[in-house]
Structure 1
């Protein structure tokens, strides 16, 4: 028998190929489980009740679109109190109207 015939007759080991495929499947399984578990965990902020939608007509002719619970009357003055700022809307007229 020649060397090439001996090489063709000898059974080839597929251990390396099978181990690479097995490791790839295990990695894909862990990746899928990770993303699935991340989709189950959701953290949501509590919803604030902002009240009805209102429009405040200012004496200058401009309009302020806001929600009812963000407008506060203190000492005869009308204030808009948002998360970061406070605006003086004194002299404005509140109109209860839907806006987009």
Structure 2
């Protein structure tokens, strides 16, 4: 799927994608590997915003579930960072199948 030179040259950008997804879009715009992880990072960000808004407006139960949901989002980010550092283009569990960037 991705060539090994692209992966080796852009592992750092792929890792950054889970913190600031748009940086690889600017700094590594020719890298399919960095774009893949930027898409995963953007999908994670959108998921985090949606989950936080929905659980934030649901009284009591939502407020109790919110820290657990944020912990799950943090774990997904760590999984993405580890996959990027290992040179893998592995989709995140549950949300990795969605493509927001073409």
- What TM-score bracket applies, with the shorter chain setting the length? under 0.3
Which structure is higher in RCO with an 8 Å CA cutoff and minimum separation 6?
A: 2
Name the structure with the higher strand share. Answer: 1
- TM value normalised by structure 1: 0.27
Larger radius of gyration between Structure 1 and Structure 2:
1
